[in-house]
Amino acid sequence: MENTIILTTPDQLQQYIGQAVEAIIPKLADFRRRNEAKKSDNLTMLEAIDYLDELGAPTTRSSLYNLVFRGQIPHRKIGRRTIFSRKELQGWVESRTVHPNDAKREAIQRIAESATRKMAR
């Protein structure tokens, strides 16, 4: 290898360093992205309890086991382990969420149907 001396101005040196840094940044970002821990969709029983709490549906371990036993919550059995899916749990919570306006409409509808039945008699 030859020992070569290169003469440059401070501005040229700054430009060369800037180009080298710009070339390495995408490689570093890609390296970081590949080495980040990937969030699994699968949850254990304890993780599912924490996740349901985050979604605003707090539950206990015994309540969750009871829901699993009755088949009222989406889950999978792998051997003796019970596994939950984040997406399925989120859908389950959303399907069980009652909005105040919906509840009022349902009550009004029931009252109207009851009044109609009484008038028909």
Q: Quick one: CA dihedral 94, 98, 101, 105, positive or negative?
A: positive
Give the mean pLDDT of 17-30.
Answer: 86
Q: How confident is the model at residue 1 (pLDDT cuts 50, 70, 90)?
A: low
Dist. CA 53–CA 47, nearest whole Å: 10
Predicted confidence (pLDDT) per residue in 53-87, tens digit = 999 899 999 999 999 999 999 999 999 999 999 99
Asked if residues 56 and 93 have their Cβ atoms less than 8 Å apart, the reply is yes
pLDDT of residue 37: 63
Closest among 39, 60, 50 to 89, alpha carbons compared:
50
For the chain, which residues make up each domain, given as ranges?
A: 40-121
pTM of the entire structure? 0.53
| DSSP letter string, 63-87 | HHHHHHHTT-S--EEETTEEEEEHH
Mean pLDDT, rounded, of the chain: 87
- Angle in degrees, CA 60, 61, 67, rounded to 5: 90
Q: How confident is the model at residue 108 (pLDDT cuts 50, 70, 90)?
A: confident
